[in-house]
Structure 1
Amino acid sequence: MSTPQLPLALRAPADRIFDTFVGHPVPVGLLRALARGTSHDGAFVCGPQASGKSHLLLACVDDAARAGRRAAYVALAAARGRLRDLLAAQEGGDLVALDGVDAVAGERDDEVALFDFHNRARASGCALVYAARAAPAQLALVLPDLRSRLAQCTQLPLEVPDDALRRDVLRARAAWRGLAFDDAAFDFLLRRVDRDLVSLIDMLERLDRASLAAQRRITVPFLREVLAL
């Protein structure tokens, strides 16, 4: 089975899969179809920070690779000013996930490179999944043709999770890791720790290691001890 290529990313976190994404089911269904080759439309995921964009793109690449397809994830922010060479390395793939279009907006050479790659990929049948903090119409792009191409993709808007959804996300991630969490511990964590979802998920990784080392269930006393709260 082929594995995802991850240029300009250290490693795809193992829990960035569709099964751990909690939110509106429509984006998952559409992206699964792209990942497995049952749809060839492009997709554009947009939403503010911590809304799950990168999670969905990494999950899409993971799902495609599990289906035996050639898939790649590209972090555009790390390629600003040299995007053409990086995209050339993705030629011939089945799916490419391009994260952070807003990071190269305004860089004309990068925009031209992305426009050219988009056209070649679509002509070859390669599925493209984009992500940015705003929809194409709101991005500070200098190339109208690129804006037009991106706007033709299926738009998948996301919103920042509210408190109830944050709890559901944490529960899903904890269950995936096999973490035993008391209900009171969930309430305590959401009240006392930064509510940014990315920070909370990073905290789960820390708690996972500490719980495994101590062979203890995650309770409020354990949280106080580990997090010094």
Structure 2
Amino acid sequence: MSGAPGATPQLPLSLRYPPDQRLEGFVRAPEGAIAQLRALAREAGADWLYVEGASGTGKTHLGLAVCAEAEQAGRRPAYLPLRAAAGRLHEALEALEAVDVVALDGLEAVAGNRADEVALFDFHNRARASGRGVLYLASAGPAALPLVLPDLRSRLGQCTRIALATLDDEGRREVLRDRARRRGLVLEEAAIDWLLTRTGRDLSQLLALLERIDRESLAAQRRVTMPFLRRALGLD
């Protein structure tokens, strides 16, 4: 049902948590990071976490995985991609008052917008006072973001930090093998090498291609051979 004319569109405050994005499926996490993330998801009063890393390092995977873990533990989670809420963050955060664990993905999308930063600062303080858990995800640490509120930068800096490194080719291969296995998809090493060399090494792009390959192989009822890959990706 559509809303009334002029109503603010509903924000994507939560998503179904994809089965291949779980904490146990994250490849090469920093030492101790998975235990910290699991504690945040499951335990009231656990340390708040600030995960930083370049694009393609798996931040969204971890945000969704923490929400899935919290849900499994009987807690109420919410995942908010901040890019979707930029310019209206106060409204979006008000909708999260009843949840137990919140993953806020993409802090850089609201950095520099004073109204959004004030909304985030106020939310941070309310959530801390009420004992909720918060996971921040950003492309860089608080000191490197173009924040205009020093107090917000200070609050973010008090979170326990986890820095994600960009995977090398062997790490990307490991991710592709794991995701393919979880989907029941057989990928030979030659196919993985071909994907890495012909379609770029950005991990998010590779995983999107893997999903596409999986769909097309199911639709065609075909094994994933090299000729099939070339045709499916239009790279003949």
TM norm structure 1: 0.92
1:23 aligned partner, one-letter code: R
State the distance in 2 between where 1:193 and 1:143 align: 41
State the secondary structure of the residue aligned to 2:91: helix
Counterpart of 2:67 (choices 61, 71, 75) is 61
- Give the TM-score of the pair, scaled to structure 2: 0.90
Match of 2:137, SS state, is strand
Deviations 1:91-135 (A, max 9, x none): 132100001111111111111111111111011110000011000
Show CA shifts across 1:127-173 (max 9, x none). 00001100011111111111011000010011211111110111111
Contact 1:104–1:111 at 8 Å: present in 2 too?
Answer: yes
Tell me, yes or no, if the aligned pair for 2:17 and 2:65 is still in contact at 8 Å: no
| Residue segments in structure 2 that go unaligned for 5+ positions in a row | 1-10
Amino acid across the alignment from 1:97: A
Aligned to 1:78: 84
1:39 to 1:161, Cα distance in 2 relative to 1, 3 A: farther
Indicate whether 1:20 and 2:25 are aligned: yes
2-structure distance, mates of 1:228, 1:89: 43
Shift of 1:86: 1.1
Higher deviation after alignment, 181-190 or 167-176 = 181-190
Per-residue deviation, 1:11: 4.8
The match for 2:7 is: none
Q: Which residue of 2 aligns with 1:3?
A: none
Query: CA RMSD of the aligned region, Å?
Result: 1.6
- Offset of residue 77 of structure 1: 1.1
Percent identical among aligned pairs is 57
In the alignment, what sits opposite 2:8? none
Contact 1:105 1:140 survives alignment (8 Å): yes
Q: Indicate if the aligned counterparts of 1:28 and 1:56 stay in contact, CA closer than 8 A.
A: no
Q: Distance in 2 between matches of 1:139 and 1:152?
A: 15
Matched positions, count: 224
DSSP-derived class of the 2:190 partner? helix
Which whole-Å deviations, capped at 9, do the CAs of 1:7-46 have from their partners, x for residues lacking one?
A: 3566543322213211225322210111011652110000
